Amino acid sequence: MGAEARHADIVVIGAGIGGLCAAARLAHAGRRPLLIERADRVGGRASTYEVEGFRLNTGAVAIELGGMMEETFEEVGAKLELRLPDPANTFQLRGKEVNPAKGGWKLIIDQITRRGTKLLTRLGSAREGELPEEQVSLAEWISGATDNRTVHRLFRNLSAAIFAVNSDEIPARAFLTYFTSKGAFKRFGFHPEGTLGVCRALADVVEREGGEIWLESEVRELHVSDGRVTGARVERQGEMAEVSCGAVVSNVGPVATIDLCGEGNLDSGYVEGIRKRSRPTANIIIHVASREPLISSPGLMVFSTTDRICNMGNLTATCPELAPEGWCLSVVYAVPRPAVGAFDSERELELSIEELREVIPGMADPETRILGAEVMRDEWPAQRALSGYELPRETPLDNLFNVGDGVREYADGGTQACAVTAKLVVDELLAAELAEAGAP
C-alpha cells in the first residue's frame, strides 16, 4: 500500500510558539496550513505536562505583554488569558527581595555597592545608544566598571534568565540592546493551565479557520525540485503520508531544516554558514513542590549570589490551579557552565540543586520535593541561537522559511521573539503570493 497523498497550502513544521503563531496567522488570512507536531500536544518548549496533579511547564513560563505576542492574539481573534503578578520582577539582594520598580537600576546597584557610579553611568550611556563593540562580552563590559562579585553575578543571572547563557558568552551589545530598547519582560503573565493553555488558544484558531493539526506526526523529508520545496514525507502515527504544498514554514531550527532538505538541495555556502554560526544554548529547569511558598514574590525573582541558578518563579501565587490543593509550585531556572558547547549534564544538574538548597531555606522542609528536573540542550535546547548570533529566516529555497528563537531579530528574547519571526515570515509569504498573482 502506498503512502497517503494529501495537499496543504502551507506546511508548518513544529507546533512551538513560532509555528503556532505562523499557522494561526496563515489560517486567519484564509490559507489552509497543515501544522505537524511530533509530540502528543502543542507547545514544544512552551508546553505543559502533568506530574502528580502538578502542571509543569516544559520551558517558557512567563508570557510577555505589550508586544507581538499580544498583538498576534488580537489579530487572529484568540483570547490571551493571563494573570499578571505584581510585582512582576524582584531581585534577591542581601537576603531580601527587592522590587526594582521602586527605584530602578540605581536602587539595585546601591543595595550591592557604594561604588556603582561608573556602572550606572555606563548603563545610562547604553540607553543613549552608546553600545560596545560586538566582540566585547557582557562580563568584560561589567569588568570595565566594577569588580564587585555580586554585581557580576547579578548581571550573569539576568543574562541566564533571559538568554539562557552566561555573561562571558553573550555580547554586551546584544544584552544591552534588549534591556534598553526591547520589552525586557517588564509586563508578563502566567496562564492558569500552564503555558500549554496559551498554545491551545492559538491551535484553536488554526482549526477554527480551516487549518489542520497533526499531532504525533513527524516530517521525515522535504521534497525539493527546481529551487523550491514541493512537499513533505510525513510519518503519522506509524503510517507514511505524502503532502504536497505551496510553501513550508519550519519551526525546528535552521540546522534541522537543512537535514530535512538534504544538503545537496541547498547552496553549499548557506549550509556551511548555518552550521558554523549555529550556537544553541542550554539551561536546566527544576520544578519544586512545597507546602509554603519558597519566595514571597508572586512573579520571578533573580538571584545575585549564585553561579548557576539564575531565577525562580512562584507560580501558584497567581495560578493556584497549577498545583493540588494545599500545595505550592515553584520553577527554578539554572544555566550550566558553559551554556554553549559541551558540559557534564549530570554534574551541572547536581551543582544547581545543591545551590538551590543553599539559598532557599524552604528546601529543607521535609515535605518540599523536586517533582522534575530537565536539562535542555542539543536538539532540545533552551534557545536555538545564542543572542547576537541569530540565524537567517530565509533559505536558498524561495518558499522555505524558518521561524522561532533561532532566527529571531537581533537581541530579541522569549516567546515574544518567536511571535515576531512568525509575523515577518507570514507577511513575506502573503506578499509573495500577491506579487505572483499580479505578475503578467
Q: Are 164 and 377 in contact (CB under 8 A)?
A: no
Distance spanning both ends of the chain, measured CA to CA: 43
d(CA 248, CA 34): 10
- Per the prediction, the chain carries an average pLDDT of 94
pLDDT of residue 271: 98
Where are the domain boundaries for CATH 3.90.660.50 in the chain? 95-181, 280-376
pLDDT band (50, 70, 90) for residue 1: very low
In CATH, what class is 4-81+193-278+385-438? alpha beta
Where are the domain boundaries for CATH 3.50.50.60 in the chain? 4-81+193-278+385-438
CB environment 187-219: b (16+ within 10 A), e (fewer) = bbbbbbbbbbbbbbbbbbbbeebebebbbebbb
Q: Which strands make up the sheet holding 328-334, listed edge to edge?
A: 96-98, 89-93, 300-303, 309-314, 328-334, 283-290, 369-376
**SS3 state of residue 22:** helix
**Grid coordinates belonging to 168:** 562571558
Closest CA to 393 of 383, 403, 379: 403
Q: What confidence tens digit (pLDDT) does each residue in 108-159 have?
A: 887 787 777 888 888 889 888 899 999 999 999 999 999 999 999 999 999 9
Q: Are 413 and 163 in contact (CB under 8 A)?
A: yes
Q: Among 99-113, 206-220, 415-429, where is mean pLDDT lowest?
A: 99-113
> 3 or 380: whose pLDDT is higher?
380
For the cut 50, the answer to whether the pLDDT of residue 435 exceeds it is yes
d(CA 168, CA 158): 12
Question: Which residues, 6+ apart, have CB-to-CB distance to 201 below 8 Å?
Answer: 73, 78, 79, 80, 81
In CATH, what class is 95-181? alpha beta
272 burial type by CB count under 10 A (0-12 exposed, 13-18 middle, 19+ buried): exposed
* Residues paired with 330 in a beta bridge: 288, 314
What is the dihedral sign for C-alpha 90, 148, 350, 43? Answer: positive
Q: Among 41-50, 143-152, 174-183, 376-385, where is mean pLDDT lowest?
A: 174-183
DSSP for 266-319? Answer: S-HHHHHHHHHH---B-EEEEEEEESS-SSS-SSEEEESS-SSEEEEEEGGGT-
Number of H helices, E strands in the chain: 12, 18
CATH of 280-376, one of 3.30.870.10, 3.90.660.50, 3.40.50.150, 3.90.550.40: 3.90.660.50
Q: Which helix (H) or strand (E) holds 160?
A: helix 149-163
Closest CA to 23 of 218, 268, 209: 209
